[in-house]
Structure 1
Amino acid sequence: MSSRNWQKSSYSAEGNACLYVSSTDDATVRLRESDEPDTILTTTPAALRALIRSAKAGHLDHLRRT
């Protein structure tokens, strides 16, 4: 896994807690956070789209820390 393949999210601010995304030749999507760069989550494009849609629709708001 080359670091040149990682792209920082445009929603990430400068400093800590930045989200990075990368894809592989087989269309696997990889996600990591700047604080834990060795911890990598993998998913499919369809599953990531479903997660983003759910978050935008507010379906995950009950998981928010208060």
Structure 2
Amino acid sequence: MRDIIWEAPYCGEGNNCFRIGTDDQGNAYIAVAGAEGAYVTDTREALRTLIREIKAGKADHLL
């Protein structure tokens, strides 16, 4: 079992709440709040890049 340290949930409009976590191996995790057992994981840098790209509007076409 991984020892993931989860941040407080980030909630957008409505009930869209996500949590971001990290471990001591340099991995980052993102999950729906309340369902942290089903997460997506990658390096911290990859998650940082994903968040930057989303903030820049590069995923708006998916919404």
TM-score (norm: length of structure 1): 0.68
Paired amino acid for 1:12? C
Runs ≥4 residues deviating over 6 A: none
RMSD: 2.5
How many residue pairs get matched? 61
Residue aligned with 2:51, SS: helix
Q: Percent identity?
A: 32
Q: Give the SS at the match of 1:36.
A: coil
Gaps spanning 5+ residues in structure 2: where?
A: none
Give unmatched runs, 5+ long, in structure 1. none
- Scaled by the length of structure 2, the TM-score of the pair is 0.70
Which one has the largest radius of gyration? 1
